[in-house]
Structure 1
Amino acid sequence: MRSPWPPHPLRAPREWLSPEALFTVGAVSQYLGAATAFTLFDELGAGTVALLRVAGAGAVIVAFRRPWRRRWSRVAVVWAGAFGTALALMNLFFYLAIERVPLGNSVAIEFVGPIAVAAFGTRTARSAAALALAVAGVVALAGFAPPGAQLGALFSLIAGALWAGYIILGHRVARSGLAVDGLGVGMLIGAVAIGPAGAGGLGAAAATPLLLAACVGAGVLSNVIPYGIDQVVMQRLARARFALLQALLPATATLVGLVWLAQVPSLREALGIAAVIAAIAINRTTDRPTG
């Protein structure tokens, strides 16, 4: 399903670079950002990294878009804030998840959220089959895991539920005409909402500019670059084709986890991820996550 945001005013890439290749670049950027964040957890904690990621990405978008030039009603601020809070909480629980389970596993489990939204929204045999396959994949990934990994899987499921809320609220914000301005403002509001979860490590981040820059960089890699690329890709691809490409995301996350974090999936985990990938391909109605 198309991202809730209308085309972003980015300059179009050269025509020789295919939209599929652009999408892959965005996917790699997204999970390189998550892997970068993972390397910061020991020093700052997942909550602080999530807070700085959301605040940093929101600040970049606001600086670029300058949303103060438009007129904001109270209702518009409320919807943007609700959307941004869902997104910020999703990022927070995603980071809490990847503290405990491999990156590819967490991304695969997270997909249950939007697949469930599609299944209950369309009530077709195909969407029901996709949901059943996704659940089977989650059972393979988490059902036989140790308690710590099961907690991580639970956090992934919560992130997936918040992702479903992000989809619903995101479409509402997009229909109101707020576009990317709503994303930037919403992320700043969301950063305030998750502030208590990440405030403890802000002193350490402020004392080490390199850590602070790395957190902001994770936000740019995970949010700003993939969203910008998506807007270019969706102008050049049919909606169904774009949705099908979403099946690349768990595989990309697994590959990044393998190469960047040395997270080698077991056979059971690989089969679980494959089941979720198949569910996404059958479903074809997911929006890109922000993990």
Structure 2
Amino acid sequence: MAVFLVLGSVISLQFGAAFASQLFGQIGAPGATALRLGIAALMLAVIVRPKFRQETLVLGMTMAGMNGTFYLALDRIPLGVAVTIEFLGPLGLAAVLSRRARDFVWVGLALLGVVVLGVREYTGAKLDLIGVALALFAAVFWAFYVLAGRKLATAGLGTGGLAGASLIAAALTLPYGLSTAGAALFEPEVLLLGTLVALLASAIPYTLEIRALKTLQASTFGVALALEPAAAALAGAIMLGQHLSVISLCGIALVITAGVGAALRKAPASPGKPAQRDADLALPVPQ
């Protein structure tokens, strides 16, 4: 059951990102970031009482940076490509936490996949370098998000801590979003689509993952997480008409293989309990 919760989160998240990209033409990427985080924070605050501690502040800051840079990247490069590059963050963190040389082989394979992506984009043209750089920044924020989220989870703050962190992330992104989008941020059509994005990309996936992580081993979670680039490519093709080339799909396949391989290489420390370093990766997916 927990695995299906994670898979549901992955699919919901990427289709939410596809809907979010449709807002860029009206309110820009910063406006879409602020709207999505703001509405999602309000939703969570209604459901559960927000908790504020040092852990929520750190997680909120990483969520703001991660979502902000990812949406800016998404405004320049296809969804599947952006998520694939961003996935280098948690994969690289997994190798660093394991401190085993063979795990860096998986990171190298993922890097090869990203290089292959750079050969040809879905249109046959070169990737936008600024978009790639922004996706790499999002990858770094994703890695920090994993660490901050684990700390919040182990502190016993649960969904209340997530609600508090979401409010902080919304407060950090709202000023820039308002300055770029202005009154367009509050148009009924924009608010309606923003609410849908907040549900699909924040409220639903984060809630599903928190429930799943109560019983799911980190290795199983990692395998499901590795399917993010594939889900993003699918959502991009269906929702945005971003049909990737065969070369790009091969690059994404290399990254997925690296993610699955890295997850399956991690053995539990004792029956029924994931190793501590592996558990550091058992966190809600971002974006």
With the shorter chain as reference, the TM-score category is: 0.7 to 0.9
Aligned partner of 1:201 among 181, 188, 192: 181
SS at match of 2:128: helix
1:129 aligns with 2:108: no
The residue aligned with 2:86 is: 110
Q: How many residues align?
A: 266
1:290 aligns with 2:286: yes
Aligned partner of 1:44 among 23, 27, 47: 27
SS at match of 2:147: helix
The residue aligned with 2:224 is: 245
- CA-CA distance at 1:126 after TM superposition: 3.2
Is contact 1:142–1:153 with CA below 8 Å preserved after alignment?
no
Aligned partner of 1:187 among 146, 166, 174: 166
Q: TM-score, normalised by structure 1?
A: 0.85
Is contact 1:81–1:187 with CA below 8 Å preserved after alignment?
no
Residues 169 and 21 (structure 1), Cα distance of their counterparts in 2 relative to 1, 3 Å cut: closer
> Percent same amino acid among aligned pairs?
32
Kindly report which structure 2 residues correspond to 1:265-280, keeping only aligned pairs within 5 A, or say none. Answer: 265-280=244-259
SS at match of 1:45: helix
- CA-CA distance at 1:241 after TM superposition: 1.9
1:161-205 per-position Cα deviation (integer Å, ceiling 9, x unaligned):
000111111122222222221211111112222233311214112
- CA-CA distance at 1:242 after TM superposition: 2.4
1:163 aligns with 2:142: yes
Partner Cα separation in structure 1 for residue 80 and residue 61 of structure 2: 24
Q: TM-score, normalised by structure 2?
A: 0.86
Is contact 2:86–2:138 with CA below 8 Å preserved after alignment?
yes
Is contact 2:118–2:127 with CA below 8 Å preserved after alignment?
no
Is contact 1:126–1:282 with CA below 8 Å preserved after alignment?
no
The letter for the 2-side match of 1:64 is I
- CA-CA distance at 1:30 after TM superposition: 0.7
- CA-CA distance at 1:49 after TM superposition: 0.5
Kindly report which structure 2 residues correspond to 1:170-181, keeping only aligned pairs within 5 A, or say none. Answer: 170-181=149-160
Partner Cα separation in structure 2 for residue 192 and residue 22 of structure 1: 29
The residue aligned with 1:84 is: 60
The residue aligned with 1:258 is: 237
C-alpha RMSD of the superposition: 2.0
Q: Any unmatched runs of 5+ in structure 2?
A: 264-277
The runs of at least 4 consecutive aligned structure 1 residues that moved more than 4 Å come to: 143-148, 285-288
Residues 192 and 172 (structure 1), Cα distance of their counterparts in 2 relative to 1, 3 Å cut: same
Q: Any unmatched runs of 5+ in structure 1?
A: 1-17
Is contact 1:85–1:187 with CA below 8 Å preserved after alignment?
no
Partner Cα separation in structure 1 for residue 95 and residue 193 of structure 2: 38
